[in-house]
Amino acid sequence: MAEFIPDPSCADPQDQQSLSVDQARAQIEQLLKPVSSWQKLALREALGQVLHAPIISPLQVPPHNNSAMDGYAIHGKAIQEQPFTLKMVGTAYAGQPFNGKVGVNECVRIMTGAMVPEECDTVVMQEQVEAEGDSITVHGQQNPGQNVRMAGEDIQQGDSVLPAGHRITPADMGLIASLGIGEIRVKRRLRVAFFSTGDELRSIGEPLKAGQIYDSNRYTLYGMLKRLDADVLDMGVVPDERVALKQALRQAAEEADVVITSGGVSVGDADYVKEILAELGQVNFWKIAMKPGRPLAFGQVNNALFFGLPGNPVSVMVTFYQFVQPALKKMAGENDHPLPLMQVETASKIRKRPGRFEFQRGILFEDDKGQLKVQTTGQQGSGILRSMSVANCFILIDEHCNGIEAGTIVTVQPFAGLV
Ligand code: AMP
Ligand code: MG
């Protein structure tokens, strides 16, 4: 069991014992083991799940040459410079092919998606054709091969269409369905247990006495975990008592792959989480030079990974998105996709003191010239959860930075990439 370093003050701005954000990420990375077991699921059940094996196409898409237009299927070699006339010998509908033969001076009326007759290689759009009885006259410039979608032009039989480790999106569901595949192999879902710590916390439905507040972190965590398709175990609120915390942590670690708590990791008199983690397992670190979210306990209890997030509601979200979410994705077997960052001009002055890497809440917007800019959400207190609701991005600010003037280019991480 590793020791933890007790009691450096949270008020100290340039703390030598804090890890940088990158160091903390690297330490977490070392302990991540992707799940290996898998199950078969019906396609519709698999939305948001991670593929265990690549999807290999059993057929070619499209399965046959078909028309991209409503028009007339012809032989490419029948095309002439001047308007030319052909004899119509039948009609091909989507799903109802024309089964006869088509001579060079003949054509078939054809609908979008209908099979192009074997002898034909070209479709003339109906707007360039004058039809009279069973004779058509073709006008305008035509090119052999035009307006035909070739068999296999999208996917060849045996192609790997989606790799293992890919998380299934709505587009993927349609793609897999287009191959006629109705059941797929996905990784087993991660089981994640979480609870809130704090004597002041009450659950919804309970009356509040003086000094008490409603527990919001369990709701935020539930939402963030559900978006990752984790199998969640909500263990409620645990008071700031050693025995109760130890019991809850032990039970959580028995039942889950990952345990997440909030609160009780700073240096107050009732902040027992780190100590109990050290007694039951191993504490890897608990201070990161970042704001919000400096105290963060990371470790292991038996086979479960443990993240002890700070209690402040914004800190919970920032530390989850920056450390826990990437870890959960990797453990779930998902391939690595770093979140996209953007460089944009800040329209507001940004206050910051040197010493910690900051994740300020920002709003990306278009100015009156249509240029994308960012402004902060205003007050950046780590208890102001509304700042996360109104924000649509984090503004990432380097630890050495000492404030930013309006008009400066800054780095932002849009929330859109976080799900
Ligand atoms: P702590 O990290 O336990 O010292 O908590 C820091 C701050 O976050 C305190 O103001 C707590 O009341 C608040 N807090 C802790 N847990 C929660 C929670 N689950 N929901 C809302 N606020 C919380
Ligand atoms: Mg507390």
The DSSP result for 48-89, as a single string, is TPBBSSPEEPSS-BSSS-EESSSEEEE-GGG--SS-EEEEEE
Task: Calculate the average pLDDT of the chain.
Answer: 94
* HSE-up of residue 270 (Cα within 13 Å, Cβ side): 12
Q: pLDDT at residue 379 above 70?
A: yes
Q: pLDDT at residue 224 above 70?
A: yes
Q: pLDDT at residue 233 above 80?
A: yes
Q: 38-61+153-187, what's its fold?
A: Molybdopterin biosynthesis moea protein, domain 2 (3.90.105)
User: Are the beta carbons of 238 and 244 closer than 8 angstroms?
Assistant: yes
Helix, strand or coil, per DSSP, at residue 253: helix
User: Are the beta carbons of 269 and 248 closer than 8 angstroms?
Assistant: no
The predicted pLDDT at position 17 comes to 80
Does 266 contact ligand 1 (Cβ within 6 A)? yes
Ligand 1 atom at minimum distance from 216 CA: 20
What architecture is the 21-36+189-331 domain classified under in CATH? 3-Layer(aba) Sandwich (3.40)
Does 217 contact ligand 1 (Cβ within 6 A)? yes
The predicted pLDDT at position 417 comes to 55
Ligand 2 geometric centre to CA of 109 (Å): 75
pLDDT per residue over 144-189, tens digit each? 999 999 999 999 999 999 999 999 999 999 999 999 999 999 999 9
Does 199 contact ligand 1 (Cβ within 6 A)? no
Do 21-36+189-331 and 342-417 show the same overall fold? no
CA dihedral of 248, 254, 255, 261, whole degrees rounded to 10: 40
The predicted pLDDT at position 268 comes to 86
Q: 342-417, what's its fold?
A: Beta-clip (2.40.340)
Give the residue, out of 197, 265, 312, 316, with the most ligand 1 atoms within 8 A of its beta carbon, to mutate for a pocket test. 312
Does 90 contact ligand 1 (Cβ within 6 A)? no
CATH class of the structural domain 66-149: mainly beta
Among the listed residues 244, 239, 242, the one whose alpha carbon sits nearest the alpha carbon of residue 196? 239
pLDDT per residue over 293-327, tens digit each? 999 999 999 999 999 999 999 999 999 999 999 99
pLDDT per residue over 257-270, tens digit each? 999 999 999 888 88
Give the residue, out of 195, 201, 272, with the most ligand 1 atoms within 8 A of its beta carbon, to mutate for a pocket test. 201
Residues whose CB is less than 8 angstroms from the CB of residue 403 and which lie 6 or more positions away in sequence, other chains included = 349, 350, 351, 352, 353
The predicted pLDDT at position 16 comes to 65
Does 382 contact ligand 1 (Cβ within 6 A)? no
**Domain boundaries in the chain?**
21-36+189-331, 38-61+153-187, 66-149, 342-417
pLDDT per residue over 46-82, tens digit each? 999 999 999 999 999 999 999 999 999 999 999 999 9
Q: What percent of the chain has pLDDT over 70?
A: 95
Q: What percent of the chain has pLDDT over 90?
A: 92
Q: pLDDT at residue 407 above 90?
A: yes
Q: How far apart are CA 382 and CA 360, in angstroms?
A: 10
Ligand 1 atom at minimum distance from 268 CA: 4
Structure tokens that stand for 269 in this block: 């008199």
- Band (10; pLDDT cuts 50, 70, 90): very low
Q: Which uninterrupted H or E stretch holds 390?
A: helix 386-390
Neighbours of ion ligand 2 (CB under 5 A): 198, 263-264, 311
Average pLDDT over residues 128-137: 97
